[in-house]
Chains A and B, each alone.
Chain A
Amino acid sequence: MTPAADPLVAVRGLSVTFPDRTGDVRAVRDVDYDLARGEVLGIVGESGSGKSAAALAVMGLLPAGARVEGSVRLDGEELIGLEDRALSRLRGRRIAMVFQDPLSALTPVYRIGQQVAEAVQAHNRLSRDEARSRAVELLELVGIAGARERAGAFPHELSGGMRQRVMIAMAIANDPDVLIADEPTTALDVTIQAQVLEVLRTAREATGAAMIVITHDLGVVAGFADRVAVMYAGRLVEQGGVDDVYERPRMPYTMGLLGSIPRVDESGRRPLVPIEGAPPSPAHLPPGCPFAPRCPLVFERCHEEEPALAAVGGRPQLAACHRAAEIEAGGLAPEEVYEVRSSAPAPGAERRNGRPQVLRTEDLVKHHPLLRGAVFKRQVGTVRAVDGISLTVGEGETLGLVGESGCGKTTALLEILELTRPQGGRVVVLGRDTAELDARERRALRREVQVVFQDPLASLDPRLPVSDVLAEPLRTHGVARERVEERVRELVRLVGLEHQHLSRYPQHFSGGQRQRIAIARALALEPKLVVLDEPVSALDVSIRAGVVNLLEELRERLGLSYLFVAHDLSVVRHVSDRVAVMYLGRLVEVGDVDRLYGGPAHPYTQALLSAIPVPDPRKERTRARILLPGDLPSPAEVPGGCRFHTRCPKFAALDAERRRRCLEEEPELRAVGPGQEAACHYAERLAVV
């Protein structure tokens, strides 16, 4: 174990089992770790790895049916098996927790001030007024401006970032010794994530608490934690100092994870390292090492015996792998352990010159009325979801459209897919203006434009077997029966699935396989343009790489064009030729991918890129962040002039004379160099990653 003489928290042999009629689900198995005073431990794992269950077990907050075994000691006091009364005295006072989804974690019917005050009063005999004013102090501490007034707000009146601040305020209300944050930023956009991580740092400084940060994002932990533990199938499989684990991973799973994430700070088309298969269901664990079925280094012993966490290389680093010593001795890197397919030829900006355009929008506008009232709807404003965007996608090109939630990127995409006359502007697909199509022509054009959605489960009708899912577009467009069957078989092969999968239903597949089915369906009619709406963001990290690689490969083989809509700038950098950045319904910057990532010129792009955590602890510790103040304004109340000026760090630094221009004149996209345009009056390229 880690040498900690007198750990604050000592977890030994912690197991959590959920009894089920079909067999026990062993969510957490035999987990050991220590947490020293003031230390930050990151626990990294994919969904279903048991990381949240392990944390809830420490808090004693698992649902009634769960069976918890092992020991959790807080300053020597055993927590497992304590009565509700005794536990409730510790919860909030000595151990506090911040949950993932700050909307559902706050009671919708009470004001936030009341909820924070309740946390204060749970452990202190304070009058209502005293608790109130303490609550306001706490809200100020977590950076809620106008805390006194905001205390009277209900949770639904706050943005996600604000709600998470409230959660943190409640967690630190009683100066806890341990603060557990369970995916504290997963539900948030990158710029808001950067803000909340900053608040967590403040909270830690204010309380001196030790922290456990649970996340699936290796980037978040890199800059935040002192030590990191990797969890897989309910067990810790690797543990050590952040620098050690990131630089010298010794468990193939950790290596795979690190190799599979696209990085915002790396240019070029390094193919990602995909881990084959999917994590095992905790109800049906394979014998031996649970990672063995996916491991490239697997040998006989792995299937027979589950490896224990053991020290490697004389460092305070532990790995659960029978071959850790070999990896250590050989100093193997992820690319050496995993088979990497040959790289796709790097297409560049030059490729699109002279190529025909597949899609062009000119000043595309989509506004919708903001309605209020439950019985009689009345319009109280206009949501300017898409407010004049012009973009082009050339043949064989991938255009990445990025922006945070609420920026209008999905609305823009759906508007394009409608293939009808837009509210404003023009949409031209393959040279045809959609406003001039009649119903028959529109149907014909649909063959050329297909879509892949974010959530592969939601995008496949659960009542149809895969064969029907794939045949539907063909039948709809009147393809002959024999040809349909043949084409369906081709498609399955194309996306790397097997024929016997055809008779199964979507819910029988893992997330990555489902997304492959959705991709196959989109390709059924041999379209020219595929619109990809966040195609990998619902997938687990280890599965993403495989789907990204597949998309790249298909594009090359079939000469497809992609409009790739995403909020994850790392993935976009990896797949795109050109990138368009969207803010509040407008494009703020468009450029060739390496130009834009290498030197973003718009202050928003700069902030966005600098907010993305990089899975490299050394780099992460030294990077300067551009933190944006506040939240994305509502698209119903778009600020006048430059719509970014309310949050713009550059604007804040300008003198009054130069500011006037930002306040009065809306900037248009202007070239800031070859292959790069930005909509900023004072655009300047700046390297941030």
Chain B
Amino acid sequence: MSVPTEQVIGRLADQRPGGGPPLDETRVPSRWGVVLRRFLGRRLALAGLVVLAGLFVLAFVGPYLTPWTYTDKDYAAFLSGPSADHWFGTTQTGGDVYALTVRGMQKSLIIGLLVALFSTGLAAIVGSFAGYFGGWVDRTLMWMVELLLVLPAFLLVAILSPLFRGRTWLLFVVLLAAFLWMVTARIVRGMTISLREREYVLAARYMGLSGPRIIFRHILPNISSLLIIDATLNVSAAIIAETGLSYFGFGVQPPDVSLGTLIADGTTSAVTFPWLFGFAAGLLVLIVLSVNLVGDGLRDALDPTSGA
């Protein structure tokens, strides 16, 4: 996957950061002001942000609103539908679906955020060093990327799942992050290569600045738009990956729950006992959708040349 990916990267790299028409010196609002205004101007993105905020509140405040915890069992109510006592109904063993769902949301949201943060950070470092230094650094790092792209991350994490079974879920986060950074790293590398030849980077070099300092001072800040957008979209990718793995039992382990394990448990009775499947699935879709909308809105706001 050599020629085409470079082209994709090329397309992204062409989007010159800080470009735009020459502006009159006066009356120019600050960059972040412009970004904020453009973002707020996109109704869907704004709606996504509001919904996402609501979901976070639900996930972290929600558990305190009900007397049930996600480990409690109500032996008086097996498989009962939504009611005043059990807002989302109960499971086969009398677990409260609402308590389980908000707990699952917590897990999925936290894991999604952490994985996106780690993997984007890793991608930024690997991509910018490979792109800036070129030569053998580049060849080695990019060969690793290519190798890891050949094996879908999902397979690798599934294979390694016994390693974190019974241990902290943070290990799962690290593993997931370790296999999700490659595509972003390639894009960062491509952008770095184009920035490396930019005059202000050349000027810094001819001033006597060292390579790593140029990367952290001039290159990474100038691809921050891309990193922010990618980190956001990586949140949704990470949530989907996490729930997918948990769905098969390769992710979050019982007794803890994630939206993935809940959906897996509810799937077989989705038709007969819809509350087992519907709430978890609906909330999962809502989370991912709102993250995606926010990411897309950010892309439009940060990168006016993206055209979308």
A521 near B208 with CB under 8 A, answer: no
> With the chains together, A211 CA to B224 CA distance in Å?
47
B207 near A476 with CB under 8 A, answer: yes
Residues of B close to A458: CB separation below 8 A: 16, 198-200
Q: In the complex, how many angstroms separate the beta carbon of B28 from the nearest chain A beta carbon?
A: 5
Given known A-B contacts A374-B2, A459-B200, A473-B207, A278 and B24 have beta carbons under 8 A apart: yes
A476 near B202 with CB under 8 A, answer: no
A513 near B222 with CB under 8 A, answer: no
Query: B1-60: which residues lie under 8 A (CB-CB) from chain A?
Result: 2-3, 6, 16-25, 27-28, 30-31, 41
B31 near A505 with CB under 8 A, answer: yes
A507 near B199 with CB under 8 A, answer: no
Given known A-B contacts A450-B206, A457-B18, A513-B25, A463 and B222 have beta carbons under 8 A apart: yes
> With the chains together, A462 CA to B223 CA distance in Å?
11
* B110 interface residue per 8 A CB criterion: no
> With the chains together, A597 CA to B199 CA distance in Å?
31
* B203 interface residue per 8 A CB criterion: yes
* B155 interface residue per 8 A CB criterion: no
Given known A-B contacts A21-B41, A451-B206, A473-B207, A280 and B199 have beta carbons under 8 A apart: no
Map CB proximity to B onto A494-520 as digits: 1 under 8 Å, 0 otherwise: 000000000011111111010000100
* B218 interface residue per 8 A CB criterion: yes
* A352 interface residue per 8 A CB criterion: no
Query: A399-419: which residues lie under 8 A (CB-CB) from chain B?
Result: 414, 417
Residues of A close to B21: CB separation below 8 A: 48
Residues of A close to B203: CB separation below 8 A: 451, 453, 459, 518, 521
A477 near B22 with CB under 8 A, answer: no
A463 near B18 with CB under 8 A, answer: yes
* B228 interface residue per 8 A CB criterion: no
> With the chains together, A458 CA to B17 CA distance in Å?
9
* B211 interface residue per 8 A CB criterion: no
The number of inter-chain residue pairs (CB within 8 angstroms) is 93
Q: In the complex, how many angstroms separate the beta carbon of A609 from the nearest chain B beta carbon?
A: 29
Residues of B close to A133: CB separation below 8 A: none
* A472 interface residue per 8 A CB criterion: yes
* A454 interface residue per 8 A CB criterion: yes
Map CB proximity to B onto A271-308 as digits: 1 under 8 Å, 0 otherwise: 00000001011001000000000000000000000000
Q: In the complex, how many angstroms separate the beta carbon of A319 from the nearest chain B beta carbon?
A: 26
> With the chains together, A36 CA to B213 CA distance in Å?
62
| Nearest opposing residue in chain A for B19, CB measure | A457
| Nearest opposing residue in chain A for B34, CB measure | A22
Residues of B close to A374: CB separation below 8 A: 2-3, 6
Residues of B close to A472: CB separation below 8 A: 204, 207, 209
Residues of B close to A57: CB separation below 8 A: none
Q: In the complex, how many angstroms separate the beta carbon of A492 from the nearest chain B beta carbon?
A: 14
* A75 interface residue per 8 A CB criterion: no
| Nearest opposing residue in chain A for B6, CB measure | A374
| Nearest opposing residue in chain A for B29, CB measure | A22
A459 near B199 with CB under 8 A, answer: yes
Residues of B close to A459: CB separation below 8 A: 198-200, 202-203
Residues of B close to A476: CB separation below 8 A: 207-209
Interface residues of A, CB < 8 Å — how many?
42
The listed residue with most A CB atoms (<10 A of its CB), out of B17, B28, B200, is B200
Q: In the complex, how many angstroms separate the beta carbon of A446 from the nearest chain B beta carbon?
A: 4
Residues of B close to A462: CB separation below 8 A: 17-18, 222
| Nearest opposing residue in chain B for A25, CB measure | B21
B25 near A508 with CB under 8 A, answer: yes
A281 near B6 with CB under 8 A, answer: no
Residues of A close to B17: CB separation below 8 A: 462
A507 near B207 with CB under 8 A, answer: no
- Give chain B's interface residue range (CB within 8 Å of chain A): 20 to 34
Residues of A close to B23: CB separation below 8 A: 281, 507-508, 510
> With the chains together, A462 CA to B217 CA distance in Å?
12
B22 near A510 with CB under 8 A, answer: yes
Contact of A455 among B199, B206, B208 (CB under 8 A): B199
B202 near A510 with CB under 8 A, answer: no
The listed residue with most A CB atoms (<10 A of its CB), out of B3, B198, B199, is B199
Residues of B close to A375: CB separation below 8 A: 2-3
* A266 interface residue per 8 A CB criterion: no
> With the chains together, A375 CA to B139 CA distance in Å?
12
B24 near A281 with CB under 8 A, answer: yes
B25 near A509 with CB under 8 A, answer: yes
B206 near A460 with CB under 8 A, answer: no
> With the chains together, A414 CA to B41 CA distance in Å?
44
Contact of A510 among B2, B24, B200, B221 (CB under 8 A): B24
The listed residue with most B CB atoms (<10 A of its CB), out of A48, A280, A472, is A472
Residues of B close to A453: CB separation below 8 A: 199, 202-203
B208 near A280 with CB under 8 A, answer: no
Residues of A close to B207: CB separation below 8 A: 446, 450, 472-473, 476-477, 525
The listed residue with most B CB atoms (<10 A of its CB), out of A280, A458, A476, A518, is A458
> With the chains together, A284 CA to B25 CA distance in Å?
11
* A230 interface residue per 8 A CB criterion: no
Q: In the complex, how many angstroms separate the beta carbon of B31 from the nearest chain A beta carbon?
A: 7
Given known A-B contacts A455-B199, A461-B222, A511 and B206 have beta carbons under 8 A apart: no
* A443 interface residue per 8 A CB criterion: yes
Residues of B close to A417: CB separation below 8 A: 202, 206
> With the chains together, A518 CA to B207 CA distance in Å?
13
* A449 interface residue per 8 A CB criterion: yes
> With the chains together, A280 CA to B2 CA distance in Å?
46
| Nearest opposing residue in chain A for B31, CB measure | A505
Contact of A461 among B2, B28, B200 (CB under 8 A): B200
> With the chains together, A663 CA to B101 CA distance in Å?
84
> With the chains together, A511 CA to B222 CA distance in Å?
20
Given known A-B contacts A443-B208, A446-B207, A280 and B24 have beta carbons under 8 A apart: yes
| Nearest opposing residue in chain B for A447, CB measure | B208
The listed residue with most A CB atoms (<10 A of its CB), out of B6, B19, B30, B202, is B202
Residues of A close to B41: CB separation below 8 A: 21
Query: A502-557: which residues lie under 8 A (CB-CB) from chain B?
Result: 504-511, 513, 518, 521, 525
> With the chains together, A414 CA to B197 CA distance in Å?
11
Q: In the complex, how many angstroms separate the beta carbon of B135 from the nearest chain A beta carbon?
A: 13
Given known A-B contacts A459-B199, A463-B222, A284 and B208 have beta carbons under 8 A apart: no
Residues of A close to B18: CB separation below 8 A: 457, 462-463, 506-507
| Nearest opposing residue in chain B for A454, CB measure | B199
Query: B242-260: which residues lie under 8 A (CB-CB) from chain A?
Result: none
B3 near A446 with CB under 8 A, answer: no
Given known A-B contacts A457-B18, A521-B203, A463 and B25 have beta carbons under 8 A apart: no
B20 near A507 with CB under 8 A, answer: yes
Residues of B close to A21: CB separation below 8 A: 41
Residues of A close to B6: CB separation below 8 A: 374
Residues of A close to B3: CB separation below 8 A: 374-375
The listed residue with most A CB atoms (<10 A of its CB), out of B2, B28, B206, is B206
Q: In the complex, how many angstroms separate the beta carbon of A45 from the nearest chain B beta carbon?
A: 15
Contact of A460 among B30, B200, B209 (CB under 8 A): B200
Residues of A close to B22: CB separation below 8 A: 48, 278, 457, 510-511
Query: A402-439: which residues lie under 8 A (CB-CB) from chain B?
Result: 414, 417
> With the chains together, A521 CA to B198 CA distance in Å?
16
Q: In the complex, how many angstroms separate the beta carbon of A111 from the nearest chain B beta carbon?
A: 21
> With the chains together, A458 CA to B221 CA distance in Å?
15
Q: In the complex, how many angstroms separate the beta carbon of B261 from the nearest chain A beta carbon?
A: 43
Residues of B close to A505: CB separation below 8 A: 30-31
Those 4 A-B pairs whose CB atoms lie nearest each other, nearest first:
A462-B18, A459-B199, A453-B199, A374-B3
Given contact pairs A450-B206, A462-B18, enumerate 20 new A-B contacts (beta carbons under 8 Å).
Answer: A281-B24, A284-B24, A284-B27, A375-B2, A446-B206, A446-B208, A457-B18, A457-B22, A459-B198, A459-B202, A461-B218, A463-B218, A463-B222, A473-B208, A477-B208, A505-B31, A506-B18, A507-B31, A508-B25, A518-B203
What would be 18 A-B contacts, judged by CB atoms less than 8 Å apart? A48-B22, A374-B2, A374-B6, A375-B2, A446-B206, A446-B208, A454-B199, A458-B16, A461-B200, A463-B222, A463-B224, A473-B208, A476-B207, A476-B208, A477-B207, A507-B20, A508-B25, A525-B207
